[in-house]
Structures are given as C-alpha cells and as structure tokens.
Amino acid sequence: MDRKPGRPRGLTVEVIAQAALDDGVATFSMPSVARRLGVAHSGLYRYVEDRDDLLVRALDLAILGADWPDAGLPWRDLLRGIGETIWQMCQDHHGLDSAALSAPRSPRSVEDRIQSYIETLQSQDFVLEDAAVSVEFVITLALTASAEMRRLQKIEAQHENGPRLPVLKAYDTEEVWRGRGWYARKLDIVLDGLEHRRLSS
C-alpha cells in the first residue's frame, strides 16, 4: 500500500531541533538535517521557517536540557553558576558558542530564565538595569571566552611543531592558552566591580 503524502511519522519540531544539535549546531544545514532524519529537505519547512528558525529552536532545546543554577542563590553564586552552565553547554554542543552569538534572536527559554535571574538580583539590592546587564554580561562572557579558547586551540595546532605565535608578553602565559583562559580572572574583576557598585547605589 502506498503511503499518503503528509508528515512523516514521528517527525516533530523537537526531533528536528535535536537532529540539528547532533549534526553540529554551528554548521548544520537544512539538507544535512534532512539526511540525518531520512526525510525530504522540503519536508522540514512544514515545521520550521528556515535555518535561522531551526537554529533558535536547537539552541532552545540545548537550553532546556542544561542544568541551570537555582534562582534563589546569592548573587555572586548565581552569576558564577550561570557562567558554568554556559560553559557546560559549549562543551556538550561543539560550536554552540559561535552559534549562540550569531543567532537572529534569543530563544524563549533563555529569556524566561534571564527574567527570573534579574528578579533575584533586584531582590539583592541591584537596580533593574544593573541586574539585566550583569546576567547578560556573564552569558556573553562565557560564550565569547569559549569561542576564543577554540580559536587559540586552532592557532596552537597550526604551530604545533614550531614556536608559538608571537604575542605580547602579558598574553604569553599558560593561563591564557589553557583551560578557560582568562575567563575566571575577567569574571572576578567584574564581580568585584559589581559588589562596589551595588553597595554604593
């Protein structure tokens, strides 16, 4: 019996978004996702508008699956926890850092979480604008720091059998080139500044 045309059994927006994550959130294409799912490329457009829409939905799925800090934490612990979650997401999904930074809009799930975190900071003597900037800053810092470390790893791999790329002496340290680079140092500087700003406002 011939199958009637229509939506393939088991195909949902969530299934397609997961396929995009599995294919590579920064590099997937609509045809590559369709191949992974064994469906026609054109059939995906019954569920998502275009690649940008699918990117946002894939990021949304990654966000929903991440382990986020409790909104009731003290503000320093909360901001550090947000950064840890972003780092773990970047490790779990290669290329998520650059994909998130280039996304056409924020996933709804992250907006909901940000709102709860902003309210927590407000309850701990942050003015609204500082609370919003603080949460956004930590997310952006973790994403950009992760992307930077991937860039440095590529540079180092290209110079594997020779001297490291010449840089200023201050940047030629193991702290810069290993692990998370200067992420923790940058975050500490910002948190110390926020403490001063919060107490003086």
For residue 21, give the CATH number of its domain. 1.10.10.60
Which residue is associated with the tokens 């979650």? 85
Q: Is residue 6 assigned to a domain?
A: no
Provide the whole-model pTM: 0.86
Question: What is the domain extent for residue 157?
Answer: 68-200
Amino acid occupying residue 173: T
- Is-contact 68 110, C-beta < 8 A? no
Residues 41 and 75 in one domain: no
* pLDDT attached to residue 2: 40
Residues 94 and 117 in one domain: yes
Distance, in Å, from the CA atom of 119 to the CA atom of 125, rounded to the nearest integer, reads 10
Rounded to a whole number of angstroms, the distance between the first and last alpha carbons of the chain is: 73
Q: Is the pLDDT of residue 122 over 70?
A: yes
Q: Is residue 2 assigned to a domain?
A: no
CA 79 from chain centre, in angstroms, equals 15
- Is-contact 101 139, C-beta < 8 A? no
**Residue 4 — pLDDT band, cuts 50, 70, 90?**
very low
Largest Cα span, the chain: 75
Mean pLDDT for the stretch of residues 149-167: 75
Amino acid occupying residue 115: Q
Which residue is associated with the tokens 């979480």? 113
Residues 87 and 175 in one domain: yes
Distance, in Å, from the CA atom of 85 to the CA atom of 59, rounded to the nearest integer, reads 13
Q: Is residue 80 assigned to a domain?
A: yes
Q: Is the pLDDT of residue 155 over 70?
A: yes
Q: Is the pLDDT of residue 133 over 50?
A: yes
Q: Is residue 176 assigned to a domain?
A: yes
Which residue is associated with the tokens 């997401």? 89
Torsion of CA 128, 130, 136, 140, to 10 degrees: 170
Residues 93 and 119 in one domain: yes
